[in-house]
Chains A and B, each alone.
Chain A
Amino acid sequence: MTKETSSTLLEAIKQGIREEMEKDDSVFVIGEDVGRYGGAFKVTEGFLDAFGPDRVVDTPISEAAIVGAACGAALLGMKPVAEFQFIDFISNGFDMLTNYAAKSRYRGCGSIGAVFRGPCGSGVRGGPFHSLNAESFFLNTAGLKMVEPSTAYDAKGLIKSAIHDPDPVLFFEHKKLYRLPRLKEELPEEDYRVPIGKARVARGGKDLSIITFGAQTLNALDAAEKLEQEDGVSVEVMDLRTLAPLDREAILVTVKKTNRVLILHESSITGGIGGEISAIIAEEAFEWLDAPVIRLASIDSPVPFAPQLEDYYLPNLDDIVDACRKLAAY
Chain B
Amino acid sequence: MEAPKKPLSCTGNTALTDEQLVELYRFLKITRMFDEKTVRLKKQSKLTGGVFTSLGQEATAVGTAYALEPQDFIAPLIRDIGACFVKRIEPREIFLQYFGRGTAASRATDVQFHFADIEKGFVGPISHLGDMIPVMAGILLASRMRGENRVAAAYLGEGATSTGTFHEGVNFAAVRKLPLITIVENNGYAYSTPTNMQCAADSFVDKALGYGIKGLKVDGNDVVACYEVMKEAVEHAREGKGSVLIEAMTYRRKGHAEHDNQAYVPEGEIEWWAEHNDPIKRFELFLENRSVLSGKEMDAIADDIKDFLDREADAAESEPLPEPQSAGREVFDNSVVPPAVRKDVLKR
Contacts and interface: CB of A to CB of B under 8 A. Distances in A.
Is the pairing of A and B real? yes
B124 A72 contact: no
Interface in A23-71: 25-26, 28, 30, 54-55, 57, 59-60, 62-71
A109 B106 CA distance: 7
A108 B107 CA distance: 7
B115 A95 contact: no
B110 A107 contact: yes
Contacts of A245: 332, 337
Interface stretch (B84-92, B127-135, B217-225, B242-250): B127-135
A67 B109 CA distance: 23
Contacts of A63: 168
A165 B337 CA distance: 11
A71 B115 CA distance: 15
A109 B169 contact: no
A302 interface: no
Interface string B252-290: 000000000000000000000000000000000000000
A73 B123 contact: no
Given A69-B172, A71-B135, A64 B165 contact: yes
Given A28-B145, A54-B144, A70-B138, A166 B115 contact: no
- Give the 7 A-B CB pairs with smallest separation, nearest first: A68-B134, A72-B138, A69-B138, A62-B168, A73-B142, A65-B168, A65-B172
Given A64-B165, A65-B134, A68-B131, A108 B110 contact: yes
Considering residues B124, B175, B337, which has the most beta carbons from chain A within 10 angstroms of its beta carbon? B337
Interface stretch (A2-10, A96-104, A183-191, A224-232): A96-104
9 contacts: A59-B172, A68-B135, A69-B135, A69-B138, A71-B138, A72-B123, A107-B109, A109-B123, A166-B336
Chain A interface size range? 35 or more
Interface string A157-173: 00000000111000000
B164 interface: yes
Interface string B131-171: 10111111111111110000000000000000011001101
Contact of B169 (A65, A75, A80, A145): A65
Contact of B128 (A54, A71, A95): A95
A163 to B, nearest CB: 14
B175 A60 contact: yes
Interface in B293-348: 330-333, 336-337, 340, 348
Given A62-B168, A105-B332, A108-B110, A68 B138 contact: yes
Nearest to B135: A72
B105 interface: yes
B115 A197 contact: no
Contacts of B171: 60, 62, 65
Nearest to B136: A72
A60 B168 CA distance: 8
A72 B131 CA distance: 11
A96 B131 contact: yes
A320 interface: no
Nearest to A284: B348
B172 A62 contact: yes
Interface string A71-95: 1111111101000000000000001
Contacts of B169: 64-65, 68
B126 interface: yes
B99 to A, nearest CB: 15
Contact of A165 (B139, B164, B168, B336): B336
A95 B118 contact: no
Interface string B23-58: 000000000000000000000000000000000000
Contacts of B168: 60, 62-65, 68
Given A107-B115, A109-B124, A283-B348, A76 B143 contact: yes
A111 B333 contact: yes
Contact of A105 (B114, B143, B331): B331
Given A73-B139, A95-B128, 12 more contacts: A54-B144, A64-B168, A66-B134, A68-B135, A71-B134, A74-B138, A76-B118, A95-B165, A99-B128, A100-B128, A108-B110, A109-B106
Contacts of A143: 331-332
A106 interface: yes
A180 interface: no
Interface in A244-288: 245, 283-284
A277 to B, nearest CB: 17
B109 A108 contact: yes
Contact of A60 (B131, B135, B165, B172): B172
Nearest to B166: A64
A100 B333 contact: no
B337 to A, nearest CB: 6
Given A72-B135, A106-B109, A145 B115 contact: no
A205 B145 CA distance: 51
Contact of B126 (A77, A103, A165): A103
A72 B333 contact: no
B116 interface: yes
